[in-house]
Amino acid sequence: MPRYLFWILLCLAPLTHAASAPSPDNAQDLAYSMGASLGERLRQEVPGLQIQALIEGLHTAYQGKPLALTDERIGQILAQHQAQTDPGQASSGINAALSAEEVFLLVEKQQPQARELADGIILTELKPGKGAKPGPQDSVYVSYVGLLPDGTVFDHSTQPQWFRLGSVIAGWRSALVQMPVGAKWRLAIPSSQAYGTQGAGDLIAPNTPLVFEIELFATRK
């Protein structure tokens, strides 16, 4: 699916959560107009789309109910569709990766208790903490699991380890200075705050967002 179509989907949510709610007189017209705009673009970009399934998915997600497919499966399907619709473009691989990243982070943001930090990092608190927070140049004593968007574990600690914040990826530096000792967080980190357009060898492809579950045990200068 072309990237601008993802932006259409992303833009629908802000419209429905504008600063002032639509009055009863124009609420139906607003909803109809948004649906008409989306429908016109989908008609051009995805001919033969199963409208009933689209409506079901939209309705379920909008109401915050459990989805029929897992988040990982949704991301995979949309990424595959992106790759299939632009097979002849030299930049199709990059566009597919970026579009898949947009979808993945959007899904992460919609999870219960999730909130967005600076630089687009999505935080979900798994366990609260009440201790001190590390400074930008401090060392942290943590255990962690690193996952790709499809849930594959690419790295993990077998026991807690010390890291200097100055030596880790930008997403860790940005998030951990806000993390109190004793907390356990799930962080969905955009590729721009991880390994970016270069990736990390054969392990992490370019433009890949990463997920880390991190527990902070101690901090020191």
pLDDT, residue 202, reads 84
pLDDT band of 11, cuts 50, 70, 90: very low
Cβ(35)–Cβ(29) below 8 Å: no
Cβ(112)–Cβ(71) below 8 Å: no
Which of 5-14, 68-77, 186-195 has the weakest average pLDDT? 5-14
Q: What is the DSSP string of 25-69?
A: HHHHHHHHHHHHHHHHHHHHHSTT--HHHHHHHHHHHHTTPPPSS
pLDDT band of 19, cuts 50, 70, 90: very low
Q: Is 94 helix (H, G, I), strand (E, B) or coil?
A: helix
Write out the two tokens for 199: 């990736």
CA 41 and chain centroid, separation: 24
Spatial CA neighbour of 218 closest among 139, 111, 147: 139
pLDDT band of 117, cuts 50, 70, 90: very high
Q: How far apart are CA 79 and CA 93, in angstroms?
A: 10
On the question of pLDDT at 91 being above 70, the answer is: no
On the question of pLDDT at 4 being above 50, the answer is: no
pLDDT tens for residues 39-63? 777 787 778 888 888 888 888 887 8
pLDDT top residue among 69 and 79: 69
- Strands in the chain per DSSP E: 114-116, 122-127, 139-147, 153-156, 161-164, 184-189, 210-220
pLDDT tens for residues 168-212? 999 999 999 999 999 999 999 999 999 998 888 888 988 899 999
Write out the two tokens for 129: 């903490």
Burial, 18: exposed, middle or buried (Cβ in 10 Å; 0-12, 13-18, 19+)? Answer: exposed
Report the pLDDT averaged over residues 98-118. Answer: 87
On the question of pLDDT at 138 being above 60, the answer is: yes
Model-level pTM? Answer: 0.59
pLDDT top residue among 195 and 16: 195
Which of 31-35, 46-50, 151-155, 195-199 has the weakest average pLDDT? 31-35
Cβ(9)–Cβ(78) below 8 Å: no
Q: How far apart are CA 129 and CA 138, in angstroms?
A: 18
Spatial CA neighbour of 122 closest among 180, 75, 71, 187: 187
pLDDT band of 92, cuts 50, 70, 90: low
Domains of the chain as residue ranges with CATH: 3-110 (no CATH), 115-220 (3.10.50.40)
pLDDT, residue 17, reads 41
